[in-house]
Amino acid sequence: MNKSNPYPSFGVLLVDDEAPFLRSLSIALERLGGINHIYRCEDSREVMGVIAREPIGLVLLDLTMPHLSGETLLRQIVEEYPEIGVIVVSGLNQLETAVNCIRLGAYDYFVKTTEEDRLIGGIRRAIESQEIRLENQEMRKRFLTDTLERPEVFAGIVTRDKGMRSVFQYLEAVSASSQPVLICGESGVGKELIAHAIHTLSNRNGPVVCVNVAGLDDNVFADTLFGHHRGAFTGADRTRAGMIEQAAGGTLFLDEIGDLSLASQVKLLRLLQEGEYYPLGSDRPKRIRARVVVATHQDLARKQQAGEFRKDLYYRLRTHQVEIPPLRNRKGDIPLLLEHFLAEAAAELGKTVPTVPKELAVLLANHAFPGNVRELRALAFDAMSQHKSRMLSMEVFRRALGQNETLLAPEGEAEPAPFGHMQTLPKLNEVGDLLVAEAIRRAQGNQSLAARLLGVSQPALSKRLKKAGSEDAG
């Protein structure tokens, strides 16, 4: 068995009494399918022992063998290890035998003399099916027990948000898979940090190679990813390895995948479907030996419906998909992140960490943060660069956040109509009172912040509150 970045995560056991066939099948699986987590068994009497000792998830089983027949073994495996997939690879092209094997619980049936490509394709489909079953088991286990097995992997992502914890649990469950992962989320939410966490979880010994594909035309995209041979085009005076080759044994992270041209989308789809690519100027394919992780801030479902993103590629990418919530939807993280970034900035600037005014958390909680975590980090560093006294000044944040603290409607959605469902409109002074009460609630009783949210001066708000108080008392 090849122990370097084994694929799949579980073992594939080849059972046949013909040693030459076992050898040739092993070579074909690795060369054409990238499958290297292989065990071989020539004696059918030893099969159940191998399954008991090793982490077998798929068995390729010959039917006609001395000692124990393939059909007998199939019955035993299905009965004792129902979670293991079995593919029958027989020398006999008999429909009745094939139907009987499927009825007994085999995943598929192939004839040895059938073309190699069909067999490899069938085995890869069986592996994907097993991976999804194992992932579903892992997800159920993690969500039901609310556990993280490797919390240290996520230590660099500052959060206590339940939505983020669910993302972490999902990523742990799919970490062993070879399928691509699609990371969605607005700009600045930390998609690259998530990509690095996926890489660490997958225990790959190769590097993470990051490529921002936004703005790459089709030729540059192909050259960047696939590399080229010397003389492939004018100016190609030497062979250059592409990013896929540089990421061998590791993770290839493609950022801003939503900006990829349709021509480049075809190339990426073929890479993911076939697991192979051609360097420019070469007629010999190379196998991809990296896991692909992609990210976008765009709505791929909407782009796909508009004909701007290939449907087949979209469905291939969304096999494993995570949505990173924007900062405005995890306000509990704002104080944590602020503290983290202020400490980071203080260390970088050689200053002491300041005391944070209590009102600052309230001010930040009422900001939409269109730039998300990246925006908060920039604010913290800007404030620290101007910081002089023990108490952190609110002024930098007030200036940066400005007067307009309203949440913008997501792109493509209409502005909310708060009175649309009302048959009769409320009186003007009633709306004003409700608005003031909501501003006071959001500002947690701080009149200065409430006045800023309302776009009025503090004396004007104070006067209104006093008037309302006296009217209530009267």
Instruction: Give residue 215's pLDDT band: very low, low, confident or very high (50, 70, 90).
Output: confident
pTM, to two decimals: 0.77
**CB-CB contact of 219 with 235 (8 Å):** no
Q: Is residue 392 situated within a structural domain?
A: yes
Domain assignment present for residue 414? The answer is no
Q: Based on the fold, state whether residues 50 and 129 are members of the same structural domain.
A: yes
Indicate if the pLDDT at residue 231 is higher than 80: no
* Position 276 pLDDT exceeds 50: yes
Structural domains counted in the chain:
4
CB hemisphere CA count around 5 (13 angstroms): 19
Arithmetic mean of pLDDT, 102-118: 86
> Considering the chain, what percentage of its residues have pLDDT values greater than 70?
93
Q: Which domain holds residue 21?
A: 11-136
Q: Which of 320, 353, 379 delimits the end of a domain?
A: 320
Stretch 68-89: mean pLDDT: 94
Percentage above 90 pLDDT, the chain: 57
- So what's the pLDDT on residue 417? 65
Give the model's pLDDT for residue 473. Answer: 61
**pLDDT score of 420:** 67
Q: Is there a single domain that holds both residue 433 and residue 365?
A: no
What is the predicted pLDDT for the residue at 114?
A: 67
- 241 and 389 share a domain? no
Phi-psi region of 423 (alpha: psi -120 to 50; beta: other; left: phi over 0): alpha
What string of H, E and C letters represents the secondary structure of the chain?
A: CCCCCCCCCCEEEEECCCHHHHHHHHHHHHHHHCCCCEEEECCHHHHHHHHHHCCEEEEEECCCCCCCCHHHHHHHHHHHCCCCEEEEEECCCCHHHHHHHHHHCCCEEEECCCCHHHHHHHHHHHHHHHHHHHHHHHHHHHHHHCCCCCHHHHCCCCCCCHHHHHHHHHHHHHCCCCCCEEEECCCCCCHHHHHHHHHHHCCCCCCEEEEECCCCCHHHHHHHHHEECCCCCCCCCCCEECHHHHCCCCEEEEECHHHCCHHHHHHHHHHHHHCEECCECCCCCEECCCEEEEEECCCHHHHHHCCCCCHHHHHHHCCEEEECCCHHHCCCHHHHHHHHHHHHHHHHHCCCCCECCHHHHHHHHCCCCCCHHHHHHHHHHHHHHHCCCCECCCHHHHHHHCCCCCCCCCCCCCCCCCCCCCCCCCCHHHHHHHHHHHHHHHCCCCHHHHHHHHCCCHHHHHHHHHHHHHHHHC
Instruction: Answer yes or no: is pLDDT of 471 > 70.
Output: no
Ranges 33-42, 202-211, 347-356, 359-368: which has the least confidence = 359-368
Shared domain for 20 and 169, answered yes or no, is: no
Position 410 confidence tier, pLDDT thresholds 50, 70, 90:
very low
Question: What value does the mean pLDDT of the chain take?
Answer: 87
CATH number of the structural domain spanning residue 42: 3.40.50.2300
Given a cut of 70, is residue 459 above it in pLDDT?
yes
Residue 275 lies in a domain: yes
Across residues 146-169, what is the average pLDDT? 94
Looking at residue 389, which CATH number applies to its domain? 1.10.8.60
Between these two residues, 141 and 345, which has the higher pLDDT value? 345
Whether residue 364 sits in one domain with residue 466? no
Q: Specify the pLDDT at position 409.
A: 42
**Domain for residue 459, yes or no?**
yes
The reply to whether 126 and 157 lie within a common domain is: no
Top pLDDT among 258 and 362 is at: 258
| Residue 474 confidence (pLDDT) above 60 | no
The least confident of 66-70, 218-222, 396-400, 460-464 is 460-464
* Most confident of the ranges 64-68, 187-191, 274-278, 394-398: 187-191
Average pLDDT over residues 435-441: 80
**332 & 315 share domain:** no
* pLDDT score at 358: 84
Q: How confident is the model at residue 408 (pLDDT cuts 50, 70, 90)?
A: very low
Tell me, yes or no, whether 250 and 386 share the same domain: no
Q: Is the residue at 407 inside a domain?
A: no
pLDDT at 406 over 60: no
Q: pLDDT grade, residue 62 (50/70/90)?
A: very high
What is the model's pLDDT at position 37? 94
User: Is residue 413 in a domain?
Assistant: no
Banded pLDDT at 267 (limits 50, 70, 90): very high
The pLDDT of residue 3:
55
